Amino acid sequence: MAVTLTSPEVMNDAPVIPVIVLNDVTHAVPLARALVAGGIRMLEVTLRTPVALACIEVIAREVPDAVAGAGTVRSASDAQAAALAGARFAVSPGYTHAVGRACREAGLPLLPGVATGGEIMAAQEDGYSELKFFPAMQAGGAAMLRAWHGPFGDVRFCPTGGVTLANAPELLALPNVACVGGSWLTPADAIAQGDWARITQLARQATALVRRR
């Protein structure tokens, strides 16, 4: 039986959590293996396609070195379905008390999405201090995170949305950023072409990024 993770463990495993969109279940295992080969274990498979839960299930079963998580968790039923599929953590684009409660009941560490001070406070009221800042670059990027560091010095963030290999270093240099989320590690054309070597190389570039502790 898998050991239960904590949100800090999810965020501290690598500088980048890949944001993955899969349209074909047969791509799930080779993609996960390619990312693991590049040093990335925490895999956020977004619930944006009809096959997402099946992809989480097959990764959890066949790639033991990967930690499959569910992204785009928007409801209690999403959280429950993700847990049943074998997800080890959850990521949401926003935050509601119902999603937080469902993830706790399912034993899923949750990185709730926030974009305002009020959303941060609501998540903290429910015990969440490791948060996803989304959509990060559209909502203020590094400047917003610097502004939040004063009133929310006890919160750590995973900025996601518009993050690239080029702007990730600035974000990772901030004291309140634990990691970033990015889709650049799993480009759609590489997945469609089965170019797993390219994805491994992108993962290696990501693990080489330096973050402030």
pLDDT per residue, tens digit, the chain (213 aa), is 466 799 999 999 999 999 999 999 999 999 999 999 999 999 999 999 999 999 999 999 999 999 999 999 999 999 999 999 999 999 999 999 999 999 999 999 999 999 999 999 999 999 999 999 999 999 999 999 999 999 999 999 999 999 999 999 999 999 999 999 999 999 999 999 999 999 999 999 999 998 765
Query: Is residue 154, in this structure, part of any structural domain at all?
Result: yes
The count of structural domains within the chain is 1
Query: Is residue 1, in this structure, part of any structural domain at all?
Result: no
The model's pLDDT over 99-119, given as tens digits with 9 standing for 90+, comes to: 999 999 999 999 999 999 999
- pLDDT score at 1: 47
- Do the Cβ atoms of 184 and 198 come closer than 8 Å? no
Q: Which residue numbers are catalytic?
A: 44, 132
For residue 159, what are the domain limits? 7-207
Query: Is residue 213, in this structure, part of any structural domain at all?
Result: no
State CA 78 to chain mean position distance.
16
Query: Is residue 85, in this structure, part of any structural domain at all?
Result: yes
Query: Is residue 60, in this structure, part of any structural domain at all?
Result: yes
Query: Is residue 54, in this structure, part of any structural domain at all?
Result: yes
For residue 181, which phi and psi values (nearest 5 degrees)?
Answer: -110, 140
Most distant CA pair in the chain, distance: 46
CATH code assigned at 80: 3.20.20.70
Query: Is residue 2, in this structure, part of any structural domain at all?
Result: no
Query: Is residue 212, in this structure, part of any structural domain at all?
Result: no
H/E run at residue 70: strand 67-71
